[in-house]
Structure 1
């Protein structure tokens, strides 16, 4: 696997290194040893899937605080999404900055999301499907969120937000 650090320290784009032959290819999609070599958590407790009927759907921005800090490893396995992270580490030089990239079944890229990073994605295609690993179990009392349309963040979503949960739109706006 090829790890490329994003402008937000600790977050990585992870690309496959396929070995091809006449049948197609084989590649590792996750490797505990390679994660550990990059100083990343190598223990994931749960694998989740989400499916989105309509392009323009946004899920997030979510994160968990102590004692249930959660890292995520995101991969789009059907269609395409625009994946976004926001650095929520108060002492970080990139606090409240965001980074986004397209993950798709075609490009096969993945995104490692560190603890204390808010995470969201927007479906770029109808039927976008995502599979992701999480390092902690969902812990309701530790969940936090940001509004994806918060002007203080200035996230540039590729499409208008067409579908979003009431919960995701009810997080308070940041005070700046």
Structure 2
């Protein structure tokens, strides 16, 4: 069983912000595979189903970004899931808009949601897909990630979300190395 976690902030106010691309990736996976992500459980919206031959739980933590680890810990414990079979999708300011960076493990970088997950799990050995949202040229970082994409960025981010879904499917069907080779960049 795989746990697929998309990070974001709950509520209409944050719906189309840069910080919510992880939610959008999980929503796209759900649509593509007929999984309803509507059950409120473990401080998250979850949906159970199958992607190919793999049983999956799609997760959108509802704790707000900086406390995402609370939900992730509860879900891992409840499903008795292997950490290596959890994939986290999230926005990354250190990756250019529309690019993906897939890693088997690693640090949280500057992402507070990932910092909280790693801090609470005390481990970082789980796959992640970083979806590039770019860096602000000036201004407040929080305002930037909680802001919306420009009209020029929307096609790039939509394409990145589609590629992140294909990367998750490749991880489940084959392995993370193949996904990294095919979708990084």
TM-score by length of 2: 0.30
Q: Give 1 or 2 for the bigger CA radius of gyration.
A: 1
Higher helix fraction: Structure 1 or Structure 2?
Answer: 2
1 or 2 for the larger relative contact order (CA 8 Å, sep ≥6)?
1
Higher strand fraction: Structure 1 or Structure 2?
Answer: 1
TM-score by length of 1: 0.31
